[in-house]
Structures are given as C-alpha cells and as structure tokens.
C-alpha cells in the first residue's frame, strides 16, 4: 500500500523540484518575494489509502536588507598640481541590498591634521567639490558625459564608479595633501531618473504585508554600522616635479667619412638631443625647452623632433616631427616645436613622473 | 508556482478514485523566525525576514477522524528561495535533491558542473519526507519541523 502511495508522491515531488526558480544573488532573495510553503500528508485508514491532505500555505515576505559599500579605487592618492581644475578621485559604490536601490552621494573634506587614507596628514583644502556617477561604465571621469549626481537604480550585487571632481587652488603649503571622503546613502529605488527618498529603517514591529527595511551595512570611514550608508576616503596630493635636462651631441656624418665613424669637421652634421627627465612625484606640465644654435653651426631646416623617448640613457630616433614655423597642426597639439633663426623652441604638455622626453635637432658645422 | 498547483491538483485527482472513509488528518503549516536576543534564541512569527535569516517550518498534524491513521507520510518541498539546514522535531526526514530518489543525505549525489557526481550537501536538498512509524490514534496530534535559511 505504501509503495502505491509513494509513486504519485514522487511524481509530484519532481514537478515541485523543477518548478523551483533557484536563482540566488549574493545579495540574497529579492525583497518583496513571498516565500511560500505547503506540505501534504498521505495516510491510510483501515487499510485503505485516503486522499492526500494539503496544509495551508505558510508564507512570509522577504524584507529589504539594506547593505552598501563604498571603496576607493586605484589604491593611490590622486597626484595634482597647484591651479589645476577638475581633478578626480574615484570610488566604487556596490549595492549589496536585495533590491534595486538609489544612492544619494556627498563628499566631505577631511579636517586639517587628520591622517589620510594613504598615511599623510591633511593640510590643505580643495575647492569646487562635485560628485558625478560614471554613466558609461568606463571607470573614467568624462566631463560633460558623467553628469549624474546620484546613483540611479543600481541592481543587487551591481557596482558603479563614482567620481569626486575638485579644483586645486593655485597656492598652498609644500607637500600639500587634501583628504576627502565619499558617502553613499541608501535611497528608495524603483523610479528611474529620480533620486528616491532616503531609506528609513523599520524599527517598529514587522508589517507582514509590506517590505520592511533592515539596515545591515557595516561602518565605513565616517559612518556607523547599520545606518543605511557607507563611506570611504581618498586623497589629493599636490605633486612637485623634479625636472632635469641633459644635452648630448652626436656626429651623424661628415663630408669625408660619410656616416662611417664621422668626425665633427666643417660640413659635418651633428645631432643635439635634450633629455628632460622628471623624477616625480608629480607630473611636470608645459615643459619648455629652448636652445640657441651654437656659434659656427647652422640649423638643419626641418630637423626638429619633440616628444621622443630614450633607451638606456640614449636618445631614440622618434618623437613627433615639428616644422620650423609656429603654426599648423603640428603646433596645435600638446607637443610643439619651432625655430626662430637663433634658437629652437619646444613645448611638451606633460612629462609624467619617472619618465624622460626628448627634443632633437640637427646642425651642420660651418 | 501555478504549474506546481496544477500538478498537485492532478495528484489529488488520482487519489479521488480511492474511497474515502470518515474523518482524516488535518495539516497546519507555520513558519517562524529564529531571533537571537541577548544570546538566547527564540522563535517569533516570521516577520522582518531578510536574506540570511534562519527560519523554522513547523508542520502540525492532527487526526480528526474516528479511526487510527496509518502509513502516514508527510511531504514538504523545501520552499524556493530557502536553503535546508536540518531537521527539528519529529526526527530526521528522508531527503531528496531531485524529488525522485529519497534517502539519508549520505546516499544522495548531485551532478557537478563537469558532469561528475559529488556527494549532496544540506543546501542541495529540495524535498523532505517523513514516514511516521506509529499509527495516529483518533484525536492524536503531533508535529515535525525543519530549519531553513533565506537565500
């Protein structure tokens, strides 16, 4: 009899197993899901199997477990220069809540003398602080493109980059450091394009028919545990650039030996190379190299190359060709060069820390 | 869930051919949440349940008929969005990961991602079944329960 009973049960069991959604997020079952349970009992009376009896459905509603993290991206301070604008620190905001959420964002500067995330001491303040959300998922601040100021409709387990954008005052102390924090405050999701109201924890008894809010976030840089928000630090460091220049001369050819072991005799061609090295830590910007053509030599027209590299201390025959005048496409970009009949002039927009950029030109010996 | 209900209805239809005697068993299902207050656990009505919360399902049965019920089998799928964590009152149920093969956990396997089979874990269990050895006398009642966690 039992065997007979079990067979339909088994069939029903497999059907139930197949009907299971079984989709699990790290953030958990989506808030608002009703978890239902119905049991059945089979039995026999007087040796005769009876109709199976179902229980009532025991249900509960999954509430919202609000959990958010904010983390600094990059693991290093943003190195800036005095007077620069729209300098960016990057954070990641991750929605660990089991529902779609909005997040209200704000940035706060650290106070002076407070230790910063990368072990410095805050002694400086930046200005014009703004917060923008990465709109195209490239993790890089695109001015005019990343314009959203709050996190909109972030799915469970999803993460988005958020940028603090600030201007750096023109002057400040040496080794200027400005610590800054980003805080994300949980807000009600569900309406795209608009920031929902801040989420409020349901402190009173559970409302069985409604999705309650339970704060489950940790304590961030400047917020408390289970307060529906999370924060992290980043910092701006005003970098100084230690720029040095080296000039080398190489005889390329002479009229007697040609290019084989040339000597610097009259009529020989000599290449000068000026290496501008930046030992950091900041980026050297708008580096200008000017070099007068030596006496008893003549500039070779059209021989100026700017922005080249070095290999093992020697100049490499690369860089961007610059014609001798001061106009044209070659002078409209960040790397320009010209010759004014007495000296060459080059401008390099940026020499990053720990890099070397060259300016090369040739003369003939009179 | 609609499909499940339909299958259950089909199952009941299959049973309706069996002549029913007077009386029967009623089955009441409840779900409770395990709440830890000041280090002690207590059961409260399922409220404010969020992912990771520990719940207890209680199945209470009662023989409302005038004859003893025998061969009693309680059958409960582990609800969707829940992970089975072990038995409570009423002894260890038979378990199944596929609704076909029932037995103790050690006898069950599940297919791994590479096609090979591995021993089943508690979290793989999707179906529970209790065989009650004793007949239930008229008017007698009892309960079984199991623990599960919200995914």
Query: What pTM, to 2 d.p., does this model score?
Result: 0.66
Of A209, A238, A267, the residue at which a domain comes to its end is A238
User: Residue A87 pLDDT more than 60?
Assistant: yes
Print the domain residue range for B144.
23-150
Looking at the structure, tell me whether residues A255 and A341 fall in a common domain. Answer: yes
Helix (H) or strand (E) holding A163: strand A159-167
pLDDT band (50, 70, 90) for residue A172? confident
Looking at the structure, tell me whether residues A186 and A255 fall in a common domain. Answer: no
Per-residue pLDDT, averaged over A1-23, amounts to 39
**Which CATH number is A311's domain given?**
2.60.40.2430
Query: Among B14, B59, B81, whose Cβ lies nearest the Cβ of A39?
Result: B59
Looking at the structure, tell me whether residues A226 and A260 fall in a common domain. Answer: no
Residue B32 included in any domain? yes
How far is B140 from B151, CA to CA, in rounded Å? 35
Looking at the structure, tell me whether residues A91 and A49 fall in a common domain. Answer: no
Looking at the structure, tell me whether residues A73 and A45 fall in a common domain. Answer: no
Residue B84 included in any domain? yes
Contact status, residue A81 vs residue A169, Cβ threshold 8 Å: no
Looking at the structure, tell me whether residues A218 and A258 fall in a common domain. Answer: no
Looking at the structure, tell me whether residues A256 and A320 fall in a common domain. Answer: yes
φ/ψ of A355, rounded to 5, equals -130, 165
Question: B23, B48, B97, B111: which to substitute to probe chain A, counting the most A Cβ within 10 Å?
Answer: B48
Tell me what pLDDT residue A166 has. Answer: 96
Contact status, residue A45 vs residue B68, Cβ threshold 8 Å: yes
Tell me what pLDDT residue A198 has. Answer: 95
Q: Which residues of B touch A27 (CB under 8 A)?
A: 51
Of A199, A214, A238, the residue at which a domain comes to its end is A238
Residue pLDDT, tens place only, A303-360: 999 999 998 888 888 888 988 888 887 877 888 899 998 999 999 988 888 889 999 9
Residue B67 included in any domain? yes
Q: Which residue, chain included where needed, has tokens 């259950």?
A: B8
Our count of domains for chain A comes to 3
The answer to whether B25 contacts A43, with C-beta atoms less than 8 Å apart, is: yes
A14: nearest CA partner in chain B:
B99
Contact status, residue B47 vs residue A62, Cβ threshold 8 Å: no
Query: Among B11, B48, B82, whose Cβ lies nearest the Cβ of A8?
Result: B11
Residue B40 included in any domain? yes
DSSP designation for B11 = H
Residue B88 included in any domain? yes
Residues 198-217 of A with CB under 8 A from B: 202, 205-206, 208, 212, 214, 216
Instruction: Go through A276-311 and write b for each residue having 16 or more CB atoms within 10 A of its CB, e for each that does not.
Output: bbbebbbbbeebebeeebeeebebbeebbbbbbebe
In angstroms, the Cα distances linking A80 to A27, A163, A178, A217, A232 are 37, 15, 11, 33, 20
3-state secondary structure of A266: coil
Q: Which residues of B touch A2 (CB under 8 A)?
A: 71, 73
Our count of domains for chain B comes to 1
How far is A291 from A299, CA to CA, in rounded Å? 11
CA distance B13 to chain A (A): 9
User: Residue A17 pLDDT more than 90?
Assistant: no
In angstroms, the Cα distances linking A192 to A130, A153, A219 are 22, 6, 28
Looking at the structure, tell me whether residues A93 and A234 fall in a common domain. Answer: yes
Looking at the structure, tell me whether residues A205 and A80 fall in a common domain. Answer: yes
Give mean pLDDT in consecutive 10-residue pieces for chain B, a chain of 151 residues: 44 39 77 85 81 92 90 92 89 90 91 86 92 90 93 90
Q: Is A10 on the interface with B (CB under 8 A)?
A: yes
Question: Helix B2-15 to helix A2-19 angle, to the nearest 10 degrees?
Answer: 170
| Closest by Cα among A262, A252, A250, A85 to A166 | A85
**Which CATH number is B104's domain given?**
2.60.40
Looking at the structure, tell me whether residues A170 and A189 fall in a common domain. Answer: yes
Top-confidence residue, B25 or A283: B25
| Closest by Cα among A228, A276, A207, A216 to A65 | A216
φ/ψ of A9, rounded to 5, equals -60, -45
The answer to whether A63 contacts B50, with C-beta atoms less than 8 Å apart, is: yes
CA distance A221 to chain B (A): 25
DSSP designation for B107 = G
DSSP designation for A278 = E
The pLDDT mean for chain A works out to 87
Residues 281-340 of A with CB under 8 A from B: none
Residue B12 included in any domain? no
The answer to whether A40 contacts B75, with C-beta atoms less than 8 Å apart, is: yes
Contact status, residue A276 vs residue A347, Cβ threshold 8 Å: no
CA distance B112 to chain A (A): 16
* Residues composing chain A: 366
Looking at the structure, tell me whether residues A160 and A297 fall in a common domain. Answer: no
| Closest by Cα among A26, A196, A11 to A101 | A196
Residue pLDDT, tens place only, A193-248: 999 999 999 877 667 778 889 999 999 999 999 999 999 999 999 877 778 888 98
Cα A122 versus chain centre, distance: 22
CA distance B50 to chain A (A): 5
Strands A304-308 and A320-322: antiparallel
Q: Is A6 on the interface with B (CB under 8 A)?
A: yes
Q: Is B13 on the interface with A (CB under 8 A)?
A: no
Residue B65 included in any domain? yes
How far is A32 from A99, CA to CA, in rounded Å? 9
Residue B7 included in any domain? no
Q: Is A51 on the interface with B (CB under 8 A)?
A: yes
Looking at the structure, tell me whether residues A175 and A277 fall in a common domain. Answer: no
Tell me what pLDDT residue A205 has. Answer: 66
Of A62, A97, A112, the residue at which a domain comes to its end is A62
Print the domain residue range for A334.
241-365
| Closest by Cα among A92, A95, A100 to A70 | A92
CA distance B79 to chain A (A): 6
The answer to whether A61 contacts B98, with C-beta atoms less than 8 Å apart, is: no
């Amino acid at each position: 009899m039992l065997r007979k009973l079990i067979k339909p049960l088994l069939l029903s069991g497999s059907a139930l197993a197949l009907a299971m959604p079984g989709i699990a997020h790290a953030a958990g079952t989506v808030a608002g899901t009703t978890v239902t349970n119905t049991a059945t009992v089979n039995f026999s009376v007087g040796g005769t199997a009876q109709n199976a009896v179902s229980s009532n459905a025991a249900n509960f509603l999954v509430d919202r477990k609000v959990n958010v993290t904010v983390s600094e991206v990059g693991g290093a301070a943003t190195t800036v220069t005095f007077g620069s604008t729209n300098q960016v620190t990057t954070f990641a905001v991750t929605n660990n809540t089991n529902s779609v959420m909005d997040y209200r964002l704000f940035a706060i500067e650290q106070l002076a003398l407070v230790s910063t995330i990368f072990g410095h001491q805050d002694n400086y303040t930046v200005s014009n602080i703004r917060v923008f959300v990465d709109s195209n998922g490239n993790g890089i601040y695109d001015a005019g493109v990343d314009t959203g100021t709050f996190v909109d409709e972030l799915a469970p387990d999803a993460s988005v980059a958020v940028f603090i954008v600030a201007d750096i005052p023109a002057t400040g102390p040496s080794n200027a450091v400005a610590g800054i924090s980003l805080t994300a405050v949980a807000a009600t999701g569900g309406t795209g394009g608009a920031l929902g109201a801040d989420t409020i924890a349901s402190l009173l008894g559970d409302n069985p028919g409604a999705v309650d809010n339970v704060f489950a976030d940790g304590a961030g840089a400047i917020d408390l545990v289970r307060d529906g928000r999370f924060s992290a630090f980043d910092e701006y460091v005003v970098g100084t650039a230690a720029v040095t220049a080296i000039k080398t001369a190489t005889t390329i050819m002479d009229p007697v030996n040609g290019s084989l072991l040339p000597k610097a005799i009259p009529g020989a061609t000599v290449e000068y190379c000026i290496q501008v090295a930046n030992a950091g830590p900041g980026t050297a910007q708008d580096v200008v190299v000017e070099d007068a053509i030596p006496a008893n030599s003549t500039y070779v027209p059209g021989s100026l190359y700017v922005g080249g590299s070095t290999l093992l201390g020697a100049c490499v025959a690369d860089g961007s060709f610059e014609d001798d005048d001061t106009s044209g496409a070659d002078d409209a970009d960040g790397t320009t060069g010209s010759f004014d009949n007495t000296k060459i002039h080059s401008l390099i927009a940026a020499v990053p820390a720990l890099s070397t950029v060259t300016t090369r030109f040739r003369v003939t010996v009179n | 869930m609609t499909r499940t209900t339909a299958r259950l209805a089909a199952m009941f239809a299959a049973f309706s051919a069996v002549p029913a005697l007077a009386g029967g068993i009623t089955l009441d299902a409840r779900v409770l949440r395990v709440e830890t207050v000041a280090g002690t656990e207590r059961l409260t009505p399922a409220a404010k349940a969020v992912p990771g919360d520990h719940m207890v399902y209680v199945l209470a049965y009662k023989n409302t008929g005038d004859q003893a019920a025998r061969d009693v089998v309680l059958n409960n799928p582990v609800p969707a969005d829940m992970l089975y964590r072990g038995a409570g009152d009423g002894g260890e149920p038979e378990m199944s990961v596929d609704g076909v093969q029932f037995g103790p956990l050690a006898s069950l396997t599940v297919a791994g991602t590479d096609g090979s089979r591995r021993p089943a874990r508690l979290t793989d269990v999707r179906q529970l079944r209790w065989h009650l050895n004793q007949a239930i006398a008229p008017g007698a009642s009892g309960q079984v329960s199991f623990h599960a966690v919200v995914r």
